[in-house]
Structure 1
Amino acid sequence: MSSEAPLQLKPRLAISVDQAQAMVRRISPNASVLGVTELRGGEISTVVEIALADGPTCILKAYPEALQWKMAKEVLVLGLLQNLGTAIPKILLADDTRSVIDLNYVLMTRLDGTVLGRREAALSEAELLAIYAEMGAALRRINDVTLDSFGYIGLNGVWTAHPSNHAYMSAQLDRKLTEFGTRGGDSVLAARLRDRVTAQQHLFEAATVPRLCHYDFHAGNVLVTSQGEPHLTGIVDFENATSGDPLMDIAKALYYFTEKDAPKREGLLAGYGPIARPDWQQTLDLYRMYCTLELWCWMAQIGKHDALADLTRELANGV
């Protein structure tokens, strides 16, 4: 394994009422803070709810020291989605001055609803199919946003822009396979994965237009009505957004589904609509391998080594 220290995520900070007051008064001089509550969820950033006496509750999101640039990225991506047709957070304040807390943070509007993941266990198969169909339709609208080049989105747009999806994914896979080896991954397995990429890389060529991908579209980042029949009320957390192939976004959305999650898969694909691509199922399988490789490298980077054995088996079973 690499001797590199694990990446530190989710800042350990307690936001006081006085600090929250200083933040919200930059956007509403007469606002009065009633309380501050840290919210569950979110692996990277600390997310806090700020209740106001005379206004709507807002959300504070603070970014870890090593990933301060993600603040500007989230502001950029949310700006691309103002006409999405599904509620997304509106940025009220983006602060990189570190005058109140020693981290970059944003204040955002709080969306209505509850996290889908908290309701799923009580939903019927028909309800799961229906809500995932709504999600699929929303994902398609996200993917309808086009950009100028393929690549990962950074604080000012696409970082290391690539002229084609083939060029982008070839570079990404080479980088992740190299990282796999550097962080202690099996060299024989890495060689087998490279062989698979070489044999199937032509599948990347079918994506010719760079499109916005949420790339973390799951039940933890989707809000739905709190009671009764679930309906989509909002989408959050665009930290991982990229400019790429929509099939990569779909593959990531389907990644954690098991056989028992068939209604979710069927609903998401039905809501997304027809995929006019040759070999799209095969392409999804290739992107799934990439997602697994990427997750392996991420878990190694943040020090969650107990997750690597299962991910290694998944990689080995796919080649």
Structure 2
Amino acid sequence: MTGNPPLQLKPRLDLSIDHAQAIVSRVAPRATVREVVELRGGEISTIHEIVLTDATSHILKVYPASLQWKMAKEVRVLGLLDQADIPVPRILLADDTRSIIDLSFVLMSKLEGVVLGRRDPELSDRHQFAIFAEMGAALRRINDITLDSFGYIGPNGVWTPHPTNRAYMSAQFDKKLAEFCTRGGDKALAERLRSSIAWRSHLLDAADRPRLCHYDLHAGNVLVTPDGKPQLCGIVDFENAIAGDPLMDIAKALYYFTPKDAARRDGLLAGYGAIDRPDWEATIDLYRLACTLELWCWFAQIGKRDGLADLARELESSTG
């Protein structure tokens, strides 16, 4: 492994009532903050719920200094979803001036519901199928949004535009294979992966238009009703969004499923609807390789070394 220190994520922020009040007053001068509660979130940002005296709430998402550009990206992507029939947060305030707190943040509307991951273990196969079908239908609507070029979305649009999906994914594979080796991965395995990717690269040509992809749709980024049959209340966390092939989005959504998760997989695909693409399952397998390679590089970058061996074994199995 390299000697570079792990990337610093999830800033530790002791958000006082006074700071929260100063933020809320920017958008609602007459509102009064009652309490501030830190919520569980992803690996990158720190998330607080700001509760007002009238019992309404806002969500404050604070970005680490090393990734503060993700604030502008999330604002941009949520703006693309304004006209889509998808429950997503509404941006109330975006601030990168560091005039209130010393980090970039967004203040968003709070969606109702609870994180699906909290309810998922208790749900029957029938209910899992139903809620993942709703997620699949929502993913389809996200993927219906077209963009001008393929590539990773940054704060001002696609960062490095590519004219085709093959050009974009080829550049991504090259970049991640190089990073894999730089961060201590087996160079012989990297060469086997490169060969495996090359003989399947024709599969990348079938995506002819860049589509908006959430690229992190899982039970931790979905809100559902708290009781009874779960119903979709919201989709959050668009920090990883790309302009790419919708099958890449499906591959990422299916990535963490195991054989026992058949109801979830079947529901997601049923809700998404017909996939009018030749060799779509083989294409998803290629994108699964991309997801695994990305995850290996991410774990190495943030110092999460315990999972690297299992991911390397999965990469090895994908070369056959």
TM-score range, shorter chain: over 0.9
Partners of 2:86 and 2:141 within 8 A in 1 = no
Match of 2:302? Answer: 302
Equivalent residue number for residue 80 of structure 1? 80
Task: Answer yes or no: is the 8 Å Cα contact 2:33–2:52 preserved in 1.
Answer: yes
The alpha-carbon deviation at position 4 of structure 1 amounts to 1.0
Q: 2:84 and 2:315 mapped to 1: Cα distance?
A: 35
Letter in 1 for 2:316: A
**Structure 2 residue identity aligned to 1:220:** G
Q: Which residue of 1 aligns with 2:14?
A: 14
Q: Provide the rounded CA distance (Å) in 1 between the counterparts of 2:29 and 2:140.
A: 39
> SS where residue 36 of structure 1 aligns?
strand
Partner in structure 2 of residue 180 of structure 1: 180
Measured in 1, the distance between the counterparts of 2:40 and 2:101 equals 20
**Residue segments in structure 1 that go unaligned for 5+ positions in a row:** none
Match of 2:52 in 1: 52
1:136 aligned to 2:136?
yes
Q: CA–CA distance in 1 between the matches of 2:318 and 2:97? A: 47
2:48 aligns to what SS in structure 1? strand
Counterpart secondary structure, 1:108: strand
Deviation at residue 56 of structure 1 after TM alignment: 2.2
Which residue in the other structure is 2:25 paired with?
25
Residue 272 of structure 1 corresponds to: 272
Q: Which amino acid aligns with 1:229?
A: K
Work out whether residues 91 and 108 of structure 1, in 8 Å CA contact, stay in contact via their aligned partners in 2: yes
> Which residue does 1:292 correspond to in 2?
292
Specify the alignment match of 1:63 in structure 2: 63
Confirm or deny: 8 A CA contact 1:115 1:224 kept in the other structure. yes
Give the % identical residues. Answer: 68
CA distance in 2, matches of 1:120, 1:195: 39
Deviation of residue 33 (structure 1)?
0.3
Deviations 1:117-173 (A, max 9, x none): 000111000000010000000000000000000000000000010000000000000
CA distance in 2, matches of 1:297, 1:132: 28
Per-residue deviation at 1:31? 1.1
Q: How do 1:217-296 residues align onto structure 2 when only pairs under 5 Å count?
A: 217-296=217-296
Q: Does the residue aligned with 1:119 lie in a helix, a strand or coil?
A: helix
- 3-state DSSP of counterpart to 2:229: coil
Instruction: Give a deviation string over 1:69-118, Cα, whole Å, max 9, x none.
Output: 00000000000001221210000000111011110000000000000000
Write the letter of the residue equivalent to 2:6. P
Deviant stretches of 4+, over 2 Å: none
User: Where does residue 163 of structure 1 map in the other structure?
Assistant: 163
Residues 227-248 of structure 1, C-alpha deviations (whole Å, 9 max, x = no match): 0000101000000000000000
CA distance in 2, matches of 1:175, 1:210: 20
Q: 1:87-126 counterparts in 2 under 5 A?
A: 87-126=87-126
Query: Residues 136 and 272 of structure 1 are in contact (CA less than 8 Å); yes or no, is this contact kept in structure 2?
Result: yes
Instruction: Determine the C-alpha separation between the residues in 2 that align with 1:201 and 1:317.
Output: 18
The aligned residue for residue 315 of structure 2 is 315
The number of residue pairs the alignment matches comes to 319
The alpha-carbon deviation at position 55 of structure 1 amounts to: 6.1
What SS does structure 1 have at the residue aligned with 2:56? coil
TM-score normalised by L of structure 1: 0.99
Counterparts of 1:263 and 1:82 in 2: how far apart (Å)?
Answer: 31
- What TM-score do you get using the length of structure 2 for normalisation? 0.99
Letter of the 2:25 counterpart = R
Q: CA RMSD in A?
A: 0.6
* 2:111 match: secondary structure: coil
Q: Structure 2: give runs of 5+ residues left out of the alignment.
A: none
Superposition deviation, residue 14 in structure 1: 1.0
Query: Contact 1:17–1:36 at 8 Å: present in 2 too?
Result: yes
